Amino acid sequence: MDLCAVPRIAPEDFPEPAEDLGADAEGVVVLGGGCFWCVDAVYRQLDGVQQATAGYAGGTPETADYRTVCSGTTGHAEVVMIRFDTARITFGQILKVFFSVAHDPTQLNRQGNDAGPQYRSSIFVADADQRRVAQAYIAQLDAAKVYDDKIVTTVEPLDAFYEAEEYHQDYAARNPEQPYIAHISMPKVAKVRKHFADRLKGR
């Protein structure tokens, strides 16, 4: 059963970020929103997203492997590094999908039945401009009360990113009938395709 909160408004009705970055901004961000299979699957749908790579942020390289990270003791978060064309999709638009579809930003150190600090809601920023925009958008969404509860997403510096094992990459597309994918990931893919149809690849 999915225990994630449902926003009070439709994803497409989430406010646009009052602050955003232009086409000359850094086109990479690392997002943690629970299991990286789900976040990866959502962003692969969007026009302007050039690459999505599952991995781990935080912690140390010695413990950046799936089995050890799953212990919840390494300090890592499961994340997806998203590289995007800033002329086709902005940093703010990436964040709008993150908060409205990709995960539940009101859950502390968990997403639904996946519990532990490795599943924390987090934005690992590349620079001070990304930090400013991310923090401003969180405040904007809280003020708009798009969720019943306060957003708990952390905004953290990206000190290191460790690419996950090859079998985790594009996992949902390669394993559509796996139970977790079928019941958790694919509904999010359907949601982003429904509510952000104007932003899909090949539209």
Other Cβ atoms less than 10 A from the Cβ of 133: the count is 23
Task: Let me know: does 102 contact 188? Beta carbons within 8 Å.
Answer: yes
Catalytic residue (choose from 4, 35, 38, 70): 35
User: Active site includes 38?
Assistant: no
Sorted by sequence, the CB contacts under 8 Å of residue 38 that are 6+ apart come out as 102, 103, 111, 172, 184, 185, 188
Q: What are phi and psi of 192, to 5 degrees?
A: -70, -35
Taken in order of first residue, the domains within the chain and their CATH numbers are: 24-190 (3.30.1060.10)
Residue-wise pLDDT for 11-53, tens only, equals 999 999 999 999 888 899 999 999 999 999 999 999 999 999 9
Residue-wise pLDDT for 133-163, tens only, equals 999 999 999 999 999 999 999 999 999 999 9
